Structure 1
Amino acid sequence: MNQIKPSKKISSTATATLHNTILWTALITPLLDDGAIDFPSLKQLAISQSDAGNGIVLLGSTGEGLALTSQEQVKIVDFVCQLSLSAPLMVAVGGCQLTEQVNWITACNKLPISAYLLGSPIYAKPGAVGQTQWFSALLDAANFPCMLYNVPSRSGVSIAIETLQAVQNHQHCWALKEASGDLNQVLAYRQYCPDIALYSGEDAMMPYLAQAGVKGLVSVCSNAWPAATHQYVELSLAGETQGLFPLWQNAVDELFQVASPIPVKILMHQNKMITTPFLRAPLTHLELSDCNSLLASDKQINQWLENQAK
């Protein structure tokens, strides 16, 4: 595999920030009544994540990245970059057309971001050889550290152990977001690919996966609970899990009772964090007609956070 040197030097401070960020929020994309991006709400959401000490992932599946136009994607990344937050920014790269993804990375290389989230190609279901070619091309194009994303529920196939072994020593391959929900898969990655940092992509499994050596969490629920989720991750990594069950399991279940990010957008709208609960088709907030249990979980999480401060 051919490797290239980055066109801009990645500072040791920036690298340390990446490694010290234990919680990354897969940020939602707030929308207005007419379906346009709600930039004032986006600003407030990004600031609240930065204030909580969380990293920010833009344009992932939680951010409905593939439902946005390329022009909207550029505007979102550029807008958040211009906020000059202390939080590190990670930009998602997803789809199934390699040239488009390489071009997207090339454009983002010019922006003051921190990292990329490299998704498995959707729909095609490539084997280990095709996966290796895909990720190698994206890693070669990147000027920043990259987190690969194993999410078989969306891509249709897991990242092969052979693929991760082939790319784990690439100069831009930093981490793996593991969202299979399979503890055995996590343990296999840990055993055969020790040179890559593992992050949980499953909110509810964080206490378990912390014991398996993950470094942190890439989260949906931290959209609604930035500070509480940060505390949850800190306690999980410290092995202080008393009081986390079944509270957090139940809360996460509420946020995934229908396709994400429908419930979290509904909850954030109820809490006046965003102006509408709207999503891009084919997702719709009308999928969830009763949010009483969701609101009950929200109350319990907020009470738990208050108790943590006592």
Structure 2
Amino acid sequence: MQTLAESHAAAGPAGTTTPFGGIWVPLVTPFREGAVDHEGLKRLVRHLDHQGLAGLVVCGSTGEAAALDEAEQRAVLDTVMSVRGDLKVIVGVSGVTPGGVARRLRELAGLPLAGVLVPSPYYVKPSQAGLIDFFNTVADASPVPVVLYDIPGRTGVRIDTDTMLTLARHPRIQAVKDCAGDPDHTQAVIDDGRLQLLCGDDARIFTSLCQGAVGAIAASAHLHPAAFARLHRQLQAGDLLAARPAWRALWPLTRALFAEPNPGPVKAALALRLGLSNELRAPMTAASPGLTARLASLLEVLDAGERRA
């Protein structure tokens, strides 16, 4: 039986045989007085560069994409692309009809994107056969690799294991952001080997990486991104002795960042850390004063730990 280190070594280092390997940050969208704060967005991207991250996810759920119109989403993407440095970029594209999503994907042709993150159609709750048709149609139109976004808590429908493995036959469907919350499903997709699995549930980053996930799309990694990137490297190398205490140090902040609806707590923490405006679009609301104070204390504890290390 292979050891953890041996199994990761066989797969190759993240970013080589696994193009989506590593820690990705699903960017918040900064606002100021109701409008997108593009200067704040640039400052955030520059802060995240050179931290060991794989890349950024733009206009995902953490980015409040549902509250942005198409022109705003494209402007956010253009801003990120202009200052991304060495970071790869995935952009979220969502919609209810396959034709509508396909149209938006065709408009991205020519951009140097690592991929597109596409969730199931929301609200309509299609059958599994409907999901297969939807994602195959979308993948046919996409100019870049497709990352399936399986988040039934937001869309109302889960991509079943058999459906996901059927979709893996499409050459452009190459990865999945896994928010299904089912360890058996996670392991089945990892064991199949055709889709690169990215953990999308911050609370399960450690577990999923140990199961064989190639990385994570983690809102928590807005804060102390280098520590999350280091944790990924440790687990890819099979160094559990280093990874366990590293995860224990990150866990209190990770848990607190989801104590209230995302991205409220993350934006509160970024206001403390980078001076970004602590502003969300309705119906989303800012983190409570009590949680904000707790986040400030947790950030101080992590800062102190990083200095000692």
Q: Normalised by the size of structure 1, how large is the TM-score?
A: 0.87
Residue 306 of structure 2: aligned partner: 305
Residue 5 of structure 1: aligned partner: none
Structure 1 residue 159: Cα displacement: 0.7
RMSD value, Cα: 1.9
Q: Would the aligned equivalents of 2:18 and 2:196 in 1 still touch at CA under 8 Å?
A: no
Q: Would the aligned equivalents of 1:17 and 1:88 in 2 still touch at CA under 8 Å?
A: no
Residue 78 of structure 1: aligned partner: 78
Structure 1 residue 161: Cα displacement: 1.7
Residue 174 of structure 2: aligned partner: 174
Aligned residue identity for 1:76: V
Residue 278 of structure 1: aligned partner: 279
Q: Pick from 251, 254, 277: which aligns with 1:252? A: 254
- What CA deviation, in whole Å up to 9, does each residue of 1:159-192 have, x standing for no partner? 112221222122211111111232222123234x
Q: Distance in 2 between matches of 1:299 and 1:232?
A: 19
Q: Distance in 2 between matches of 1:81 and 1:17?
A: 24
Aligned counterparts, 1:216-295, within 5 A: 216-239=215-238, 240=240, 241-244=243-246, 246-274=248-276, 276-285=277-286, 287-290=287-290, 291-295=292-296
Does the residue aligned with 1:94 lie in a helix, a strand or coil? Answer: coil
Residue 107 of structure 2: aligned partner: 107
Q: Distance in 1 between matches of 2:94 and 2:20?
A: 25
Residue 38 of structure 2: aligned partner: 39
Q: Distance in 2 between matches of 1:85 and 1:301?
A: 26
Residue 119 of structure 1: aligned partner: 119
Residue 211 of structure 1: aligned partner: 210
Residue 8 of structure 2: aligned partner: none
Structure 1 residue 215: Cα displacement: 0.4
Q: Distance in 2 between matches of 1:58 and 1:18?
A: 20
Q: Which segments of 5 or more consecutive residues in structure 1 lack a partner in the other structure?
A: 1-14
Q: Would the aligned equivalents of 1:204 and 1:248 in 2 still touch at CA under 8 Å?
A: no
Q: Would the aligned equivalents of 1:78 and 1:111 in 2 still touch at CA under 8 Å?
A: no
Q: Distance in 2 between matches of 1:144 and 1:243?
A: 38
Aligned counterparts, 1:151-162, within 5 A: 151-162=151-162
Aligned counterparts, 1:6-25, within 5 A: 16=16, 19=19, 21-25=21-25
Aligned residue identity for 1:294: L
Report the identity percentage.
27
Residue 142 of structure 1: aligned partner: 142
Q: Would the aligned equivalents of 1:207 and 1:237 in 2 still touch at CA under 8 Å?
A: no
CA gap of 1:20–1:104, structure 2 versus 1, over 3 A, is closer
Aligned residues: 290
Q: Which segments of 5 or more consecutive residues in structure 2 lack a partner in the other structure?
A: 1-14
Q: Distance in 2 between matches of 1:40 and 1:273?
A: 12
Aligned residue identity for 2:212: G
Q: Would the aligned equivalents of 2:27 and 2:219 in 1 still touch at CA under 8 Å?
A: yes
Greater displacement, 63-72 / 161-170 = 161-170
Q: Would the aligned equivalents of 1:23 and 1:219 in 2 still touch at CA under 8 Å?
A: yes
CA gap of 1:233–1:307, structure 2 versus 1, over 3 A, is farther
Does the residue aligned with 1:43 lie in a helix, a strand or coil? Answer: helix
Greater displacement, 18-27 / 35-44 = 18-27
Structure 1 residue 279: Cα displacement: 0.6
Residue 296 of structure 1: aligned partner: 297
Q: Distance in 2 between matches of 1:93 and 1:29?
A: 15
Structure 1 residue 18: Cα displacement: 6.4
Q: Does 1:65 align with 2:60?
A: no
Structure 1 residue 31: Cα displacement: 0.6
Does the residue aligned with 1:242 lie in a helix, a strand or coil? Answer: helix
Structure 1 residue 52: Cα displacement: 1.3
Q: Would the aligned equivalents of 2:45 and 2:84 in 1 still touch at CA under 8 Å?
A: no
Structure 1 residue 84: Cα displacement: 5.5
Does the residue aligned with 2:110 lie in a helix, a strand or coil? Answer: coil
